[in-house]
Structure 1
Amino acid sequence: MNFQDVANVSGGKDSDCVAALCADRQQRTGRPARFLMADTGHEHEWTYEHVHRLEASLGISVEWVKRDFTEDLARRRARLPRQWREAGVSENLIDDALELLHPTGIPYLDMVMAKGMFAAGASRKFCTEYLKVMPSDDQVVNPLLASGVSVTQWLGIRADESKKRADTEKHPRFGRSGNHNLPARLLLYRPILDWTVTDVIAYHKRRGIPINPLYAFGFNRVGCFPCINERKGAIAIIATRFPAAIDKLREWESLCARVAVARGTQPDKFDGTATFFPAGTVPRVIGNAPIDAVADWAMTSRGGLQVNIFAGAPDGNDALTSAAAEDFERAQDEGHYACTGGMGWCEA
């Protein structure tokens, strides 16, 4: 039986290490390996540039996959007129929604428009499945399995990241998965499960691989910019140093409000579900809060009543911030990560 390794790349520090470990195994054993980056269209552009630097550093080629929501949007267009007319929504609002429900080429935004809501809240966190898992499985993993190639999928999961990920019974180092109707099998491999962030930083330095520059600004995690589960401190960093990201979410919230699934209940009002962050993000705000309210809250101290003069300052792991800052300075000397770069701010 044929075997192949598939390593998921995200641009984050953990997936960097996994990609390097997989590349080393490929060089050592000659076993075929593929490296996948699922593009959500909602990453900071420096993350894309970082992945290209990683390719050059490791001598690998990263395949970019992304979900196409053309059919999803077409189904929503077909359903919406009947649903909204039954709810008493005016024809001009229906026409406006139908005009919007066409692919933009930005997977994250297309997903939101097709769903009529953001993936905000524990019961609606469908973004990872739709934007990361499905395109990787549909375009690479499952075709390999269907052709009889067994796949070992390398994942950058560390137990000390969260209580959920510390559940080693649910997330063992090795685990089997996949469609048993396919002729080959899928093995999930988490090679850095017991690593700490100190181990991750040390490996980057020892292996000589770049670190995403966003860590230099105090972020503890890198992925969607921002993630729906982003910490208050990280939102403050974005609001003060990368304001274009807030502008983008304001526009996306406005678009989603015009096609929101609950529009029929309040046809002439901003829909409360059409917000990027889930209900309860901002204390003392009943229901969902729009992005500007969330950004304002992020600039306050605990309790949300008094402005925090230190909001927006790095609040991540000091060692990680320092290591990333060193690499960032080196990379800029080489012409990488140009200032502003479309995201609104860059430290001189």
Structure 2
Amino acid sequence: MRLPNRESLGQRTIRRECTAHPLVRVVVRARSDADALEHALGRYVGLEARVETLGGAREPSEAEKLLDRGFNGLTIVMLGRDDERLRVLEGKYPFNYVFYVVPKAKPRNEHIHKLLEHYLKAKAVFRLSIGWLDEKRSYAIGGGRPLEGWEPNPRFDAYLATAGMRELAGRIFGVKPTLVLKRLEGEHYLYSGPRVVAKVKMSYEGLGVPFEKLSQAESDCASIEEQALLNREALEKLECGSVDFLKGLDADYVLVPWSGGKDSTAALLLARKAFGAKATPVFVDTGMEFDETLKHVDSVSQLLGVDPVRVRATVREALEAGASLPTVTDRWCTKLKVSAVQSLIREYARSGRVLVVVGDREAESPSRLERPAIIEHEDHVEAAPIKLWSAVHVQLYLALNKVPVNPLYEYGFFRIGCYMCPALRSWELNVMLRDGRLSYLQGKPFFRSFLDSRVKRQD
């Protein structure tokens, strides 16, 4: 596993006194273990995590008295093999308490870089703690029957399959999944209930989606609204942890870059709950947006009672002036979007402190896995309240709050961007070409050039 390189990020972690509520609390048995963890985590994650001890407690009954249940974020109880017996407490605590055993006698005996790996793995255990409830035909956060072939890798993510995903998978693979596990190198496991029914490969080149069908078994699944209600307690705990985290930060202005996608919408909801009307959404228009996204931003703005600040990133203008299409290795379009937001931030920063709340999740990419939850830039502080969440958490959270998602997800998209985004994979391209509701794209500027470039890269 590649470890975070703070120098390569070109950023500084925020000063320690700036927040009282980290996203993560790591609890170890003894002070010497805490010293080792603070040294390991402080170099990479800054204020994302706080380290505490059990005061040297060795017996479960003694440790239980000291391990309170009042922390709403993620608590990682990191044990060595000498203290593995404390793991019997695991069943007494809610899903946001992860008991993790380091393969050494004591955590302090582990190498510093290995301690960071264990920290990332423990967070993955939390994010991917999802099981299946047979009677409810629902997935459960922190409970239920174990899922076949499921493993908590820091780079994995999980999605509830939308109607569009099910329909397209049924046409291409002959199976209709209820859950998707995103693994590495474009590999995705499609689940029906607790079973893997197919393995597929999604690529940034061409239109092909190679697959291996494993089973004909299919399970009915409750609606996302029903699953959200069944998981209400866990979702409210997730919300409390993220809102506490944001409330620990102070600013005169709170800006939320809002793409109209699910993650930035969840970040906007949390920011509004933490800061009220002070939290202002910022929508960046590239001139290359899907019609669905533009309409969705307008409708959800009315629903939430917000008035987004709209800024222009001159992506379309650059293409019209002769710029080459963005690629996976040259995402110059992203630089233009970031520049547009940074210009707005500088305006606000002239008259006060600016907090930027982003919808980044660490399971999305290696770069986001490496990025701490709080970063101090020269003119603003950046905070990622859903950094620890899976896509399933986000989907259920929005459903619980009765906030509709961008229709593109219902068509079958996994992620939302511009209609010529280099991060769109072969799966999304199939949706764009097969779904009649998106036929208007054929007349959009540069869409045909984008498709031709993708097919050419496959050759």
**TM tier relative to shorter chain:** 0.5 to 0.7
Please, which runs of 5 or more residues in structure 2 have no aligned partner? 1-249
Q: How does 1:130-209 map to 2 (within 5 A)?
A: 130=336, 132-138=337-343, 140-147=344-351, 149-167=352-370, 171-178=371-378, 185-209=379-403
Q: Structure 2 counterpart of 1:144, which letter?
A: Y
What count of residue pairs does the alignment treat as equivalent?
Answer: 208
Q: Structure 2 counterpart of 1:10, which letter?
A: S
Counterpart of 1:166 in 2: which secondary structure?
Answer: helix
Shift of 1:23: 1.2
1:245 aligns with 2:445: no
Shift of 1:57: 2.3
Using the alignment, how far apart are the partners of 2:349 and 2:281 within structure 1? 16
Counterpart of 1:48 in 2: which secondary structure?
Answer: helix
Using the alignment, how far apart are the partners of 1:150 and 1:158 within structure 2? 24
TM-score by length of 1: 0.55
Partner of 1:213: 407
1:58 aligns with 2:304: yes
Q: 1:222-241 deviations in whole A, cap 9, x for unaligned?
A: 12124122111111111122
**C-alpha contact 1:174 1:187 (8 A) present in aligned 2:** yes
* Pair 1:135–1:141, CA change in 2 (3 A): same
Q: 1:77-106 deviations in whole A, cap 9, x for unaligned?
A: xxxxxxxxxxxxxxxxxxxxxxxxxxxxxx
1:127 aligns with 2:327: no
**C-alpha contact 2:255 2:280 (8 A) present in aligned 1:** yes
User: As a proportion of its length, which structure holds more strand?
Assistant: 2
* Percentage of pairs with the same residue: 24
Using the alignment, how far apart are the partners of 2:338 and 2:292 within structure 1? 22
**C-alpha contact 2:289 2:419 (8 A) present in aligned 1:** yes
Shift of 1:154: 0.6
Q: Structure 2 counterpart of 1:282, which letter?
A: R
Using the alignment, how far apart are the partners of 1:160 and 1:248 within structure 2? 32
Partner of 1:80: none
Using the alignment, how far apart are the partners of 1:3 and 1:200 within structure 2? 27
**C-alpha contact 1:121 1:278 (8 A) present in aligned 2:** no
1:4 aligns with 2:265: no
- Two-structure CA RMSD over aligned residues (Å): 2.3
* Pair 1:252–1:65, CA change in 2 (3 A): farther
**C-alpha contact 2:442 2:448 (8 A) present in aligned 1:** no
Please, which runs of 5 or more residues in structure 1 have no aligned partner? 68-106, 179-184, 254-274, 286-348
Partner of 1:43: 289
* Pair 1:250–1:116, CA change in 2 (3 A): closer
**C-alpha contact 1:238 1:246 (8 A) present in aligned 2:** no
Counterpart of 1:53 in 2: which secondary structure?
Answer: helix
Q: Structure 2 counterpart of 1:128, which letter?
A: T
Using the alignment, how far apart are the partners of 2:456 and 2:266 within structure 1? 32
Using the alignment, how far apart are the partners of 1:18 and 1:276 within structure 2? 32
Q: 1:117-174 deviations in whole A, cap 9, x for unaligned?
A: 222241x2110111x2122221x21011123x1111011111112233222xxx1110
**C-alpha contact 1:5 1:151 (8 A) present in aligned 2:** yes
* Pair 1:109–1:129, CA change in 2 (3 A): same
Shift of 1:48: 1.1
**C-alpha contact 1:36 1:62 (8 A) present in aligned 2:** yes
TM-score by length of 2: 0.42
Counterpart of 1:119 in 2: which secondary structure?
Answer: coil
Q: 1:282-303 deviations in whole A, cap 9, x for unaligned?
A: 33x2xxxxxxxxxxxxxxxxxx
